A and B are shown apart, each in its own frame.
Chain A
Amino acid sequence: MGITSMRDRFGDVVSDVLDVRPDVAVVLADIGVGRFVETGAVARHPERVINVGIREQLMIGVAGGLALTGMRPFVHSYTPFLVQRPFEQIKLSLAHQGVGAVLVSIGGSYDAASEGRTHQAPGDVALIDTLPEWQVHVPGHADEAEVLLRDAATGMDGVYLRLAETTNREAMPIVPGRFHTVRRGGAATVIAVGPTLDPVIEATAGLDVTILYAATVRPFDHAAVADAPSTDVILVEPYLEGTSARHVAIAMEQRPHRLLSIGVPRLEHRHYGHRSDHERAHGLDATGLRHRMRRFLGPSA
Chain B
Amino acid sequence: MTTQLAYTYEDLPALMTLMTGDEKHSESATSTLDVLWVLYDRVLRIDPADPAHPGRDRFLLSKGHGPVAYYAILAAKGFIPVDVLEGFAGYDSPLGHHPDRALIPGVEISSGSLGHGLPLAVGQAIGLGIKGSPARVFCLVGDAELDEGSNHEAIAFAGRYALDRLTVIVIDNQSASHGWPGGIAKRFQVEGWSAETINGRDHAAIERALAAPHPERPHVVVAAVGGKY
A-side residues, CB < 8 A to B, are 22, 25, 47-48, 50, 52-53, 55, 57-58, 60-71, 73, 88-89, 92-93, 96-98
Contact = CB atoms under 8 A, between A and B. Distances in A.
Contacts, number: 98
Main secondary structure of the interface of B (DSSP, over half): helix
A61 B108 contact: no
A58 B122 contact: yes
A53 B129 CA distance: 20
A71 B128 CA distance: 9
Nearest to B115: A57
Interface of B: 54, 101-102, 108-110, 113, 115-116, 118-131, 133, 149-150, 153-154, 156-157
A64 B149 contact: no
Nearest to B149: A57
Given A61-B123, A65-B121, A71 B108 contact: no
B154 A58 contact: yes
Contacts of A89: 116, 119, 150
Contact of A92 (B102, B110, B123): B110
Top 3 A-B pairs ranked by shortest CB distance?
A65-B123, A61-B119, A69-B127
B122 A62 contact: yes
A65 B110 contact: no
Given A55-B153, A61-B154, A66 B102 contact: no
A64 B120 contact: yes
B123 A88 contact: no
A58 B116 contact: no
A92 B116 contact: yes
Given A58-B153, A65-B124, A92-B110, A71 B130 contact: yes
B128 A61 contact: no
Given A25-B126, A47-B126, 17 more contacts: A25-B127, A47-B130, A50-B126, A57-B115, A57-B119, A61-B122, A61-B154, A65-B123, A65-B125, A65-B127, A68-B120, A68-B127, A89-B116, A92-B113, A93-B119, A93-B120, A96-B110
A57 B126 CA distance: 16
Given A58-B157, A65-B120, A97 B126 contact: no
Contacts of A70: 54, 127, 131
